């Protein structure tokens, strides 16, 4: 299996590492709400990433016209679910907004990390 085929699995594992580093980095601030916000944002981001990865895998396994429509419909469902979860976290739960934003950036930080790592190989 070449490195490109292993990339999604590597990203999935490394997302958890990035989330742990962000949470540990927030602990010295002494604000539990910040750490909880980072955790919630990270879980939302990782969940969305895993959901997208699974949907793309199904699309690539069955490249028929119906699979493409199901992927597009699933994209809209994922987007609506993300909006609903974020709305509940912000409006109802009153989660720490900065922590939530930092947590939501887990996948972006991971992509940046992988890009920098591959640039220097």
Q: Residue 41's pLDDT is what?
A: 97
Answer yes or no: are the C-beta atoms of 99 and 33 closer than 8 Å. Answer: yes
Distance CA 14, CA 20 (A): 10
- Which three-class secondary structure state does DSSP give residue 94? coil
Q: Indicate whether 2 pLDDT > 70.
A: no
Structure tokens at 13: 């594992």
Quick one: what percent of the chain has pLDDT higher than 90?
A: 64
Domain range list for the chain: 3-116
8-66: pLDDT as tens digits: 888 999 999 999 999 999 999 999 999 999 999 999 999 999 998 888 888 888 767 77
| CA distances for 99 relative to 39, 47, 57, 84, 114, angstroms | 8, 17, 31, 18, 23
Q: Residue 8's pLDDT is what?
A: 83
Answer yes or no: are the C-beta atoms of 7 and 27 closer than 8 Å. Answer: no
The dihedrals phi and psi of 96, each to the nearest 5 degrees, come to -65, 115
Q: Residue 71's pLDDT is what?
A: 83
Question: Residue 4: which pLDDT band, with cuts at 50, 70 and 90?
Answer: low
Distance CA 98, CA 22 (A): 12
| pTM of this structure | 0.88
H-only helix segments in the chain: 3-26, 32-61, 65-87, 97-104, 106-119
Answer yes or no: are the C-beta atoms of 42 and 25 closer than 8 Å. Answer: no
């Amino acid at each position: 299996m070449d490195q490109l085929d292993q990339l999604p699995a590597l990203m999935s594992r490394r997302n958890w590492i990035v989330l742990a580093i962000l949470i540990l980095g927030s602990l010295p601030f002494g604000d539990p709400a910040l750490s909880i916000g980072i955790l919630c944002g990270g879980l939302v981001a990782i969940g969305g990433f895993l959901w997208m990865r699974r949907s793309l895998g199904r699309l690539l396994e069955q490249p028929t016209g119906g699979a493409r429509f199901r992927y597009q419909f699933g994209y809209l469902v994922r987007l609506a679910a993300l909006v609903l979860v974020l709305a509940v976290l912000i409006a109802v739960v009153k989660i720490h907004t900065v922590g939530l934003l930092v947590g939501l950036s887990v996948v972006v930080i991971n992509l940046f990390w992988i890009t920098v790592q591959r640039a220097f190989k």
